[in-house]
Amino acid sequence: MKLNCGVLVLLGVVFAVAVQARSQNVVHYSTTIDNVKYLFATAEPVARLKSGDILDTNTLDCFGNALKKPGDTVSMAKGDNPLAGPFFVEGAEPGDTLAVKILDLQVDGDTGVGAFAPGFGAINETNYTPMLHVPLPERVWFYHIDHAGNTAMFKALDTDFSVKIPMHPFFGCIGVAPAEGEARSSVVPAEFGGNMDSSEASVGNTVYFPVNVKGGLLYLGDGHAAMGDGEIAGTAIEVPLKARVQLSVIKGRTISWPQFENENAIMTVGAYRPLDDALRIAFTELVHWIHKDYSLSELDAYELLSKVARIHLNEMVDPNYVVVASVEKKYLPAKKK
């Protein structure tokens, strides 16, 4: 029996795909309101993965999927930002880096939610900026999700106005267990990641975290369909997600703050108050990264960033504000091997 070249090539492709599928183990996990967490902390893992494995899971929205129709209130949520996890990655030890490559994110439903409530937001009174005026009332908006058009529909509550908003799904919360046995609220962003509200946590990007405890203990949640810079009213278009990420351990690579990377740029996170200190953290980390991996001195990197860097103000409504500093790789020397 003879096989022509075309058949042989096809068989080779099928075999290669089969080998790749076997080498990339997929771990499935189902998140429900009964198994979520509300802290980034050392806790019993819900699943264990090997470095290189793919995690296929879902996440709930920041209200635990509790708000479904007009008249529903924020008080119906059991907590803020329910998290899937933690996920234990074999071989991850303190001093290593956990890489999370975001392969796919899909909005899991036909409705998104936006809201603001008294004491939360960027241009109204909060616990950090108390004022004497009457607090703004709670309001809730519902957004119809058009999957085919990849849009969410904003409808004004007080006038007859609507507009379509392009969707860009991302994790509002993604992070690992903090160091020193700390337990941090799912509302707080910090060195471990957490509620960074970074649109950079989206498909095509890899996010790096410092490993603080054995296994890393990754948490995911707080899906967003779209969000404006600053998240000024306190919420994005809040949605549940279907997610697919690949987890890898980078042995011996030590970082202090989360980082993002794609084929075009490297990005660093600063999360703190006041806002200028968040910016300083982000840029200091970016200078260190360029010096370590791209062979420029720190002073040369500092000067270069002053000319070509970009700043993204992710959010300024949580206990810590979040800034992402970035530089395109086209401006950098070749990366060290």
Q: Which residues of 301-334 are buried (b: 16+ CB within 10 A; e: fewer)?
A: bbebbeeebeebbbbbbbbbbbbbbbbeeeebee
CATH architecture of 24-331: Sandwich (2.60)
Other Cβ atoms within 10 Å of 32 Cβ, number: 12
Asked whether residue 52 carries a pLDDT value surpassing 80, the answer given is yes
Please compute the mean of the pLDDT values over residues 242-260 and round it to a whole number. 97
For the chain, what percent of residues have pLDDT higher than 90? 85
Measure the CA–CA gap between 203 and 336, rounded to whole angstroms.
26
**pLDDT tens profile 65-90:** 999 999 999 999 999 999 999 999 99
For residue 175, what is the enclosing H or E element? strand 170-176
Mean pLDDT of 314-325: 95
Quote the CA–CA distance of 57 and 54 in Å, as a whole number: 10
Question: DSSP letter string over 111-155?
Answer: EEEEEE-TB-SSSS-BSSS--SSPPPPPEEEEEEEETTTTEEEEE
pLDDT-based confidence at 3, cuts 50/70/90?
very low
> Which DSSP state fits 76?
G
Under the banding of pLDDT at 50, 70 and 90, the label for residue 23 is low
Please, how many CA atoms are within 13 Å of residue 145, restricted to the half-sphere of its CB?
21
What single-letter amino acid sits at 156? A
d(CA 330, CA 264): 7
pTM over 0.85: yes
- Residue 304: pLDDT over 60: yes
Residue 279 clears pLDDT 50, i.e. is over it: yes
**76 vs 98: CA distance, rounded Å:** 35
- Least Cα distance to 100 among 211, 217, 209, 190 occurs for 209
Residue 126 above 90 pLDDT?
no
**Which residues are bridge partners to 190 per DSSP?**
193
Scan for tokens 């903090």, then name that residue.
178
The domain spans of the chain are: 24-331
Averaged pLDDT for residues 13-24: 46
CA 226, chain centre distance (Å): 13
**Which pair of structure tokens corresponds to residue 98?**
């956990």
CA-nearest of 146, 141, 57, 107 to 225 is 107
Quick one: pLDDT at residue 10?
43
